[in-house]
Amino acid sequence: MLASYVWELIADLRAAADDQAGAADAYGRAILADRAGPLDHLLIARAGALFASGRPDDAAAIYDLADKAAASDFTRAKIDLLRGQLFAASGSTAKAQSFYQHAIDNYPETASAYLALVALLDGGATVNDLQRGRVDYHNGKYQPAVDALENYIRATPQPVAEATYLLARSYAQLDQPDAAEPLLRGLIALNSPTAERTKAWLELARVQLHDRDDPKAAVQTYLDFVETGPAPTDGAAALASAARASASAGTLRQAADIWLRSAAQYPDLPTASPASFQAGIMLYRLDETESAQTAFAAAAAATTATPEQIAAAKLWQGKTSAKLGLTESALSNYAAAAAADPRNYYGLRASQLQAGSAPLLKTGTPELRTDFDAAQNDFEQWLSAKLSLSTTTGLRELAEPLRADGRWQRGSALWQLGLEDEARTELVSLRLAVRTNALATYQLALAYRELGYFYGSIYAARDCVDALGFEQTPLEAPRFLTLLRFGPYYEDLIASAAAKENLDPLLMAALIRQESLFSSTATSSAAAQGLMQIIPPTGDYIATKLAWPGYIESDLNRPIINVPFGAFYLAEQRRNFEGNPYAMLAAYNAGPGNARRWLDLAGDDPDLFLEVTTATETQRYIRRITEYRAVYATLYEP
């Protein structure tokens, strides 16, 4: 059942013991045995072992197979590099150089292309300076990129515009804006429009804004670019950048005017409604309430407005009406917002404003307990009728084709062995294969849940929702499927930690779902770990504050530690921000410093806090947690 994985482990051990011939044989057996997912890493490993055992021709053939099977440029570049190294070691210099050059020509953004460049130069080969500059630039070697690109430009009567742009970008990355700006202005002055000319306009504005801290100059550059008549999407993006730069500099009136210009100049783009909306926010902050009301009305009426955008605009029409003392109009607009998009953030928040309640307000004493069995029985009765099944007996057990599927057998065994990455490859492949089959996805959701693969259970339940025809209205699916999708899982840990820190357990469950989707081993690109996505320095800080005995970084992947740690830190942010729920969540996600800055701009208005939050990820974070908590409230609040 696990032959491929066992042979791979044997191969790795043999390679580590320098038994390369044995490793090559074992990798070959691993390739031939059944498993889901790509095989390119095994092919590359087998080729390497064949070469190390004195079989270069066989190794080259396997590399060719790996190249054909490769699914990404990263892998293809790596294979080019390895083939080059193989032929170089075999004395076939010309062939080695051809593979190195192929990596440089086709995959300049990869690290393997950079290593191929180094190999060529170390071998005395001549490499085109433009290609050298490209590879050096994309691999963060900015000074070598400058040297190569300057050589190319000096030696070439009509250098390509890309070279000038990359040279300017390299100077900017080296904190030399005085060298970058003339190059960018030279590209801007070109008579014919090119992709590099457009990029040069935007890069010049970026240099002015971030490197020179001159938002006034950056705004003017964006506006000048729009006057050149770029593609509508480029023009709208430039105006958005100009408006944000104006707002960050405190020139709210200019920002409002630019947003209004964008909506008027590009009324048929999806950006029209958000542009009018942002103009309304600027005007609201300026206490130009009637003008803000007009902008929000335009946002709601835009032909490209989505239900979410309509709800947002109607909510803020309500707030402007309330500010003007027009109570009935305010309530009418809140009701319209709630009706436009009832399940998502702005509709939910509008309902709260209509009722006069604060955001994320805990009501009663919710418990993460429900009659799971009764809900499951009700669902299976419904499902049986929906699918015209003769009985509900056996619905909870994997059907024979699923139980006999090698992906289930291998995936479940690998999961139990703690080889979660390998298990996910098998289990995801199985789920995707049956995702349109309502009964199969239901059975997988239960099986994955029983296995402890909660992340997969959630996705399988969502597949079941879609297969049953609830794609557009997933929360209108039977309640039991919502329980499978939302859980929460680890409910006892969540309830205990929430009680200790006097936190809302439903809010904690919503936060964990947003942070990790209940994957206890989740790790982000910022090294945040575990259910509540705690970064190691914060983990050290919490461990010190709690005097946690014997704490080590890997403990962050243990739910029994991660959840109490996350609850402590969330409660600390609540204290730091005097119970403000949005500031608390923003501090948890983006840091207390950012949250304090946004709070200073918004004052005690939580709705304005959300809109002045300049980090798109954090804004989305607050909205999603609000939406998830609302789902948990329908499931668990008394």
pLDDT digits (tens, 9 = 90+) for 343-387: 999 999 999 999 999 999 877 778 888 889 999 999 999 999 999
Q: What does the CA dihedral 396, 401, 402, 403 come to, rounded to 10 degrees?
A: 80
Instruction: Provide the 8-state DSSP code for 523.
Output: B
Query: Do you find a cis peptide bond into 488, omega within 30 degrees of 0?
Result: yes
Looking at residue 341, its amino acid is: D
Do 493-636 and 155-331 have the same topology in CATH?
Answer: no
Q: Where are the alpha helices (DSSP H) in 139-211?
A: 142-155, 161-173, 177-188, 195-206
**What are 253's two structure tokens?**
């009136």
Identify which of 483, 475, 423, 492 has the alpha carbon closest to the alpha carbon of residue 458. 483
pLDDT tens across 579-635, in order?
999 999 999 999 999 999 999 999 999 999 999 999 999 999 999 999 999 999 999
**First and final C-alpha spacing in the chain:** 48
pTM of the prediction? 0.94
pLDDT tens across 26-48, in order?
999 999 999 999 999 999 999 99
How many other C-beta atoms are found inside a 10 Å radius of the C-beta of residue 617?
A: 9
Q: Does domain 493-636 have CATH number 3.40.640.10?
A: no
Q: Where are the alpha helices (DSSP H) in 577-605?
A: 581-590, 592-602
User: Distance between CA atoms of 122 and 102, rounded to whole angstroms?
Assistant: 17
**What are 557's two structure tokens?**
């992947």
Phi-psi sector, 365: left (phi>0), alpha (psi -120 to 50), beta: beta
Q: How far is CA 328 from CA 318, 324, 337, 464, in A?
A: 9, 11, 14, 43
Give the mean model confidence (pLDDT) for residues 533-543: 97
* 515 is known as an active-site residue: yes
pLDDT band with cut points at 50, 70 and 90 for residue 472: confident
Q: Are 260 and 253 in contact (CB under 8 A)?
A: no
User: Distance between CA atoms of 214 and 200, rounded to whole angstroms?
Assistant: 17
User: Distance between CA atoms of 311 and 543, rounded to whole angstroms?
Assistant: 43
pLDDT tens across 262-302, in order?
999 999 999 999 999 999 999 999 999 999 999 999 999 99
Give the phi and the psi of residue 437 in degrees, each rounded to 5.
-100, 110
User: Distance between CA atoms of 484 and 445, rounded to whole angstroms?
Assistant: 7
Distance of CA 507 to the CA centre of its chain: 22
The average confidence (pLDDT) of the chain is 96
111-122 helix and 73-89 helix, angle to the nearest 10 degrees: 20
User: Distance between CA atoms of 560 and 572, rounded to whole angstroms?
Assistant: 19
Q: Where are the alpha helices (DSSP H) in 207-287?
A: 215-227, 232-248, 252-265, 272-285
Give the mean model confidence (pLDDT) for residues 116-134: 97
Q: Residue 182: its pLDDT value, please?
A: 98
Q: Residue 41: its pLDDT value, please?
A: 95
User: Distance between CA atoms of 510 and 365, rounded to whole angstroms?
Assistant: 16
- Residue among 203, 380, 426, 515 flagged as catalytic: 515
CA angle 257, 262, 264 (to 5 degrees): 95
Q: Are 364 and 638 in contact (CB under 8 A)?
A: yes
How many other C-beta atoms are found inside a 10 Å radius of the C-beta of residue 109?
A: 14
How many other C-beta atoms are found inside a 10 Å radius of the C-beta of residue 271?
A: 23
Instruction: Give percent of the chain above pLDDT 70.
Output: 100
Q: Are 379 and 478 in contact (CB under 8 A)?
A: yes
> Quick check: 193 pLDDT over 80?
no
- For residue 365, the SS3 value is coil
Give the mean model confidence (pLDDT) for residues 83-105: 97
User: Domain extents for the chain?
Assistant: 3-151, 155-331, 372-486, 493-636
Q: What is the CATH number of domain 155-331?
A: 1.25.40.10
Q: Residue 475: its pLDDT value, please?
A: 87
User: Distance between CA atoms of 593 and 285, rounded to whole angstroms?
Assistant: 22
Give the mean model confidence (pLDDT) for residues 184-197: 90
Sequence-ordered strand ranges (E) for 16-157: none
Identify which of 156, 155, 188, 152 has the alpha carbon closest to the alpha carbon of residue 167. 152
Q: What is the CATH number of domain 3-151?
A: 1.25.40.10
pLDDT tens across 226-264, in order?
999 999 999 999 999 999 999 999 999 999 999 999 999
How many other C-beta atoms are found inside a 10 Å radius of the C-beta of residue 307?
A: 15
Owner of token pair 């080729």: 47
Q: Please, which residues bridge with residue 534 across strands?
A: 529
Q: How far is CA 349 from CA 278, 510, 558, in A?
A: 18, 16, 35
> Quick check: 424 pLDDT over 90?
yes
Count Cα atoms within 13 angstroms, Cβ side, for 136. 26
Give the mean model confidence (pLDDT) for residues 395-420: 97
**What are 547's two structure tokens?**
């005097």
Identify which of 307, 360, 397, 341 has the alpha carbon closest to the alpha carbon of residue 606. 360
pLDDT band with cut points at 50, 70 and 90 for residue 17: very high
406-416 helix and 420-433 helix, angle to the nearest 10 degrees: 150
Q: Residue 609: its pLDDT value, please?
A: 98
